[in-house]
Amino acid sequence: MSNLAQLIDSPDDTLHLGPATVVTSASREVELRLEDGRQVAATLALALPYVPAEDDVVLALGKDDRFYVVGVLSSRGQTSLSFRGDVKLQALGGSVQIAADHGVRVQSPKVEIEASELSMRAVEVVQKFESMVQRVRGVLRIRAKRQETTIDESSLTRAKRAAILTEETMSINGKQIHLG
């Protein structure tokens, strides 16, 4: 029988089950302050990964000098899922949603996105690249209130046909303008 099972099966009335505050932590061991003011050492006994932080409130179960953290009631610490090898996250017949109050960051040497439709919405988008290649098989449409393009060195546009249409004034300003 496991230590935890022996603790629960014990007929002793001194069994403690209740909230406790994390005082310090080291690996799988934490120092807890119980509601009655006692400080006890406890072992993490959770199915989910949890990195305790000072002042987290956990659910402690124990008696005498054997205590276990069996739940997390409120946490400021980081939860980290780490796996060796390839990992596949899949929702069969459903969708996957990732949400965060302060941001989502993806970090990898290579990121690929495959979709039959990709939709993005943002108040502001900033993109920074060393170089960028775009290939569009059909039509590339850009609709904006205003467009401003700054090229530090040279610019080249090639097309079979080209047209510039303006409803009002068009200006071309350069030291030399070559036509034809």
Identify the pLDDT of residue 3. 54
Report all structural domains of the chain as residue ranges with CATH numbers, in order of start. 3-74 (2.40.50.140)
Beta carbons within 10 angstroms of residue 28's beta carbon:
12
pTM of this prediction?
A: 0.59
Would you state the structure tokens that stand for residue 73, as one six-digit string? 């009631």
pLDDT tens by residue, 54-63: 999 999 999 9
pLDDT tens by residue, 73-84: 999 877 778 889
Would you state the structure tokens that stand for residue 166, as one six-digit string? 């303006």
- DSSP bridge partners of 162: none
